[in-house]
Amino acid sequence: MSGAEDRRAPPPGRAAARRPVAPRLGRGLLLAAFSLLFVLYVAGPVAWLVSSSLQTEAQATAVPPNWLPPEPTLANFEAIFRAGERVVTYETRRQGDPATGGFLPTGAQNLLPSLRNSLVVGLWVAALNLLLSLTAAYAIAVIDFRGRRATLYTVLATRVIPDIALVVPLFLVIRALGLINSLAALVVTYLAVTVPFTIFILISYFEGIPRDLYRAARVDGCGHWGALRQVYLPLSLPALVAALTFAFLTSWNEFVFALVLTQNVEAQTLPIVISGFVMDFTTSFSFVNAAGVIAIVPPVLLAVLFQRYIVSGLTAGAVKG
Amino acid sequence: MLRLGYDERAAALLVFPVVAVLLVVAAFPILYSFWISLHDVVLTRPLRRPFVGLDNYLRVFADERFWIAVARTTVYTVVTVAATTVLAVLVALLLNEAFPGQRLLNALLLLPWATPSVVNGLMWKWIYDPSYGLLNGLLVQLGVLERYRAWLGDPDLTLLLIANAAVWKQMPLAALLLIVTMKAIPEDLYRAAKVDGAGTFRRFLHVTLPALRPGLMLVLVYETMISIRHFDLFLIMTQGGPGDASFTLSWFIYVETFRSLRFGTGAALSYILAMATFLLSYLFIRFLGRRL
């Protein structure tokens, strides 16, 4: 845990050999203890969410709680994927699936369509975000044109305004365009949210690419479009992966704009439908937890898969700053 | 006379799509919002929206709910930022060490970061649940608590419990930024300190902490901006309650705009919050930047 020890840490073999046994043991115990605390804190809540999603309603609401599912069941997930087949009304909701305690939220059948909406919006945002940012970042990082700095600052400044402050006018603009409750409205909004950050990442990456490669390409007769496609695009794959992941995650997780800009199952995304469950009193806990698990899986998978790119993307510019 | 060379024509063409999108969905709404804040816009009365100058702002300042919201937002922000920063420093110190399993912990760090805020709210609300929650279960099983209690229903605890959920999600990014800064500290500084006889704690105090300044700066500004405007958890966990215990500025904006449909005062509130955010980050950078 000490700053001093981590400096010596990188060549573990040599450092360890030079040090007496007692402090090494102490250090090991300390690290183990803190690692355990860290794992409990970071993974504990999610583990509990997963655990209670694998229990029946009766087990999940037991006192004292069942820390692990006594008999793991996928009934809640089955209920989610079957929800579309049944009509839930005030009369029928009580007699529903016994596994969920019979309390299926009224919006249960909206869950799968909202999952689809979230995926569609996320993929569109990721793709368009990359296309738009790529050209702009190239121009700002590589071409020396009048208004270059002004363009950069304007782009970044749009992100300083709190989302909640943008919600009101954006709602009116989107309504005037007749796009309320459409996936297109969400895609355009999320582009505005994600593009500035992507441009920022790509610029700091592009600036690290040797200028000579650019000159060579231009000498060989490439225009800017050619230089972008043949030099910058292939060399910045890590940054592109990070940018795609961020855009998808931001759009997948976003809540406020989706809450205000969508009204029903046509355009509602997963967070909106789930938040509806949470605020419904009669909701089955195990069912909602299962819905939460479904919402958590894609972002966590992406995070694990692209961990290295995400970390370098997130911290881009931090060192310079 | 404006002459555009090949470079400039290409740049204009390449930058145009982004600028167009940002103009429509960011720049225009920001200006439009200011216009709305100067008019009495009520959605239930769409045709008449008279110009009222700064009346909306004055009305907000005269509203006692505004000052309650300022107090709640301040408490929430201070608690969240402080806890996030302290925890992030500890986590960064741990993950900056080399030990078996360290890579696994690094991967785990991204778990809260990737969790959607709605799921974060749902998860903690479930943990805090008055009848079946894990927090009650744990404390009763450990003998700390005699019987289950309604955690979020306690006005003294609500803000702190929401802050805890926020810290859980925000800590990883802060820790990552600090780890990057730590990796850049030259090893010689530690050797020199050791030669001078500085112990582990003093080396942290006199070498690590000062070198961490830019990272801490970034974390403080970023976390403050995130916390002061935070909304999602308040809607999902408490809806401003119990009473007005978690009635923050962002929640006030939402209620004023989308429940009372008073867009004029809603926009004025939004502008006040945006200005406060600006001012705070400026002050942070101006004063703390030098001393920290």
pLDDT tens string A6-36: 444 444 444 444 556 667 788 889 899 999 9
d(CA B254, CA B238): 14
d(CA B21, CA B142): 56
> Which of B26, B235, B277 is the closest to A275 by Cβ?
B235
Is any Cβ of chain A less than 8 angstroms from the Cβ of B7?
yes
Contact across the interface for A191 and B33, Cβ inside 8 Å: no
Mean pLDDT of chain A: 82
d(CA B16, CA A251): 23
pLDDT (0 to 100) of residue B289: 59
> Which of A8, A65, A188 is the closest to B132 by Cβ?
A65
Contact across the interface for A299 and B131, Cβ inside 8 Å: no
Least confident of A278-282, B77-81, B105-109, B136-140: A278-282
- Render pLDDT for A127-145 as a digit per residue (tens, 0 to 9): 999 999 999 999 988 888 8
> Which of B105, B184, B203 is the closest to A319 by Cβ?
B184
Contact across the interface for A195 and B18, Cβ inside 8 Å: yes
> Going by C-beta distance under 8 Å and a sequence separation of 6 or more, which residues neighbour residue B259?
none
d(CA A70, CA A51): 10
Tokens of B62: 């005269």
The mean pLDDT of A206-230, rounded to a whole number, is 87
Is any Cβ of chain B less than 8 angstroms from the Cβ of A319?
yes
Residue of A nearest to B275 (CA): A161
- Of the pLDDT bands very low, low, confident and very high (cuts 50, 70, 90), residue A70 is confident
pLDDT (0 to 100) of residue B31: 87
Percent residues over pLDDT 70 in chain A: 83
Q: Which residue has the tokens 């010689």?
A: B188
Tokens of B163: 């802050």
**Which positions 47-66 of A are in contact with B (Cβ < 8 Å)?**
48-49, 52, 60-65
- In this predicted structure, the answer to whether residue A146 has a pLDDT above a threshold of 90 is no
Contact across the interface for B207 and A3, Cβ inside 8 Å: yes
d(CA B143, CA B137): 10
d(CA A165, CA A260): 12
Residue of B nearest to A296 (CA): B115
- Render pLDDT for A153-184 as a digit per residue (tens, 0 to 9): 888 777 777 777 788 888 888 888 899 999 99
Helical packing angle, A307-314 and B102-114, nearest 10°: 70
Contact across the interface for B107 and A307, Cβ inside 8 Å: yes
> Which of A4, A49, A292 is the closest to B190 by Cβ?
A4
Tokens of B159: 């803000």
Cα torsion for B57, A174, A164, A266, to the nearest 10°?
140
- Render pLDDT for A107-123 as a digit per residue (tens, 0 to 9): 778 888 999 999 999 99
Cross-strand pairs, B262 = B42
- Render pLDDT for A52-67 as a digit per residue (tens, 0 to 9): 999 888 888 888 888 8
> Going by C-beta distance under 8 Å and a sequence separation of 6 or more, which residues neighbour residue A210?
none
pLDDT (0 to 100) of residue A238: 86
Angle among Cα B40, B43, B45 to the nearest 5 degrees reads: 75
pLDDT (0 to 100) of residue B81: 96
Q: Which of B194, B245, B275, B232 is nearest to B71 (CA)?
A: B245
- In this predicted structure, the answer to whether residue A284 has a pLDDT above a threshold of 70 is yes
| CATH tag for B56-291 (out of 3.30.43.10, 2.60.120.260, 1.10.3720.10, 1.20.910.10) | 1.10.3720.10
**Which positions 242-301 of A are in contact with B (Cβ < 8 Å)?**
249, 252-253, 255-256, 259-260, 270-271, 274-275, 277-279, 285, 288-289, 292, 295-296, 299-300
d(CA A222, CA A230): 9
Contact across the interface for A299 and B10, Cβ inside 8 Å: no
- In this predicted structure, the answer to whether residue B172 has a pLDDT above a threshold of 90 is yes
Contact across the interface for B119 and A278, Cβ inside 8 Å: no
User: Mind telling me how many Å the CA of A307 is from chain B's nearest CA?
Assistant: 7
A93 vs A194, residue with greater confidence? A194
> Which of A155, A169, A270 is the closest to B36 by Cβ?
A169
List of chain B residues whose C-beta atoms are within 8 Å of the C-beta of residue A274: 118-119, 122
Residue of A nearest to B116 (CA): A253
List of chain B residues whose C-beta atoms are within 8 Å of the C-beta of residue A224: 7, 10-11, 14
Is any Cβ of chain B less than 8 angstroms from the Cβ of A182?
no
| Domains of chain B, residue spans | 56-291
pLDDT (0 to 100) of residue B248: 94
Rounded to 5 degrees, what are φ and ψ at B39?
Answer: -125, 155
d(CA A133, CA A243): 9
Q: Which of A22, A10, A69 is nearest to A293 (CA)?
A: A69
**Which positions 156-175 of B are in contact with A (Cβ < 8 Å)?**
168, 172-173
The mean pLDDT of B10-29, rounded to a whole number, is 86
Residue of B nearest to A4 (CA): B190
- In this predicted structure, the answer to whether residue B173 has a pLDDT above a threshold of 70 is yes
Whole-angstrom Cα Rg for chain A: 25
pLDDT (0 to 100) of residue A11: 46
- The length of chain A is 321
What DSSP line would sit under B123-192, residue for residue?
HHHHHT-TTT-HHHHHHHHTTS-SS---STT-TTTHHHHHHHHHHHHHHHHHHHHHHHHHHTS-HHHHHH
Q: Which of A115, A94, A42 is nearest to A290 (CA)?
A: A115
CB A246 within 8 A of CB A197: yes
Mean pLDDT of chain B: 88
Q: Which of A195, A164, A19, A119 is nearest to B235 (CA)?
A: A164
